[in-house]
Amino acid sequence: MSVDKTKTIVPGHGTFFTADIGATFPENPLTAFTLTGTPPTGWVNVGHTSKDNTAAFTRDGGDKNSLDSWLQDGVVVTYDAVTWSLQVNSLQLDQTNLDLAFDGETDTDGGYIVPASSTGIDKQAFLLGTDGTGSLGFWMPNTNVTLGDDPSIDPTKFFELPLGVSILSADPEVLAVSDGRAAIMKIFKTGNVPAIPVITSATPTAATAGSMLEIVGTGFTGTVPTTGVKIGGSNATSFIVIDDSHIVAIVPAGSAGSAPIVVTNAAGASASFPYTRGA
């Protein structure tokens, strides 16, 4: 890692957005979401939130446990389950935010009816912070929103309506780690772009059509589906991204001889890696 002050940010201003679970998340969120502009289709800006009590993440659990055998200590290490949450203290007491907090309804006289109990509302969420030159965003595809901490009244400050956001595991088809682990959020930072893949080896040598080929290198996270691995100019019959450094692909049909390998992700295509296909 190199020293780079452009990777830092002081989020002096920010806001919070919600959407129904099925709403489309924009491809370029740090451009699509702005503090006061029109949100992407299906998304709602909750508006003014507290600067005294800014949005805060909470992480509970994850304690380390070491299991010993009679023969040896520290044979297996396990970790307790982890739960993540976020609290955003809204200052706008409009129906959008009252619904997020209480899941109640507005009466005919304009009063808001708070139910005795609530199971919360399932929402997508996006938290945006900016320092004017760059932005930081947190996308949470699956959350449950309800009232957070107990509201209190301070006659010298804005009344705050705490929104408690339970961050849940996302649908794997929406967001997942390349090795199959469940995911809860994706973080975006202005200036961060995926690295172009680099291939360092491919084994076994002279693999034939239909054979399994292991490709090793870096930058494989986010490999383009279906067309992201080419062998001899043809798409791999199928492939699995094991992790950022390993791909297992099935060699497509083709003639024996030169069959250079190219891996492509959102940042671009790797340099062609020389490979010879078997007969």
In the chain the domains, ranked by start, together with CATH numbers, are 5-189 (no CATH), 198-277 (2.60.40.10)
pLDDT in tens, 43-87: 999 999 999 999 999 999 999 999 999 999 999 999 999 999 999
pLDDT at 1: 57
Give the DSSP letter of residue 176: B
pLDDT at 221: 81
SS3 assignment, position 175: coil
pLDDT in tens, 54-64: 999 999 999 99
- The tokens describing 133, both together, are 């030159």
Longest dimension (CA), the chain: 82
pLDDT at 34: 97
Q: Enumerate the β-bridge partners of residue 124.
A: 19
pLDDT at 59: 96
- The tokens describing 200, both together, are 């360092």
Residue 28's nearest CA partner among 193, 169, 179 is 193
* Long-range pairs, 60-69, Cβ under 8 A, ≥24: 60/84, 60/85
pLDDT at 178: 66
Burial class (CB in 10 A: 0-12, 13-18, 19+), 22: exposed
SS3 assignment, position 98: helix
Residue 83's nearest CA partner among 54, 120, 57 is 57
Residues of the chain scoring pLDDT < 70? 1, 178-179
Q: Enumerate the β-bridge partners of residue 108.
A: none
Q: Enumerate the β-bridge partners of residue 202.
A: 215
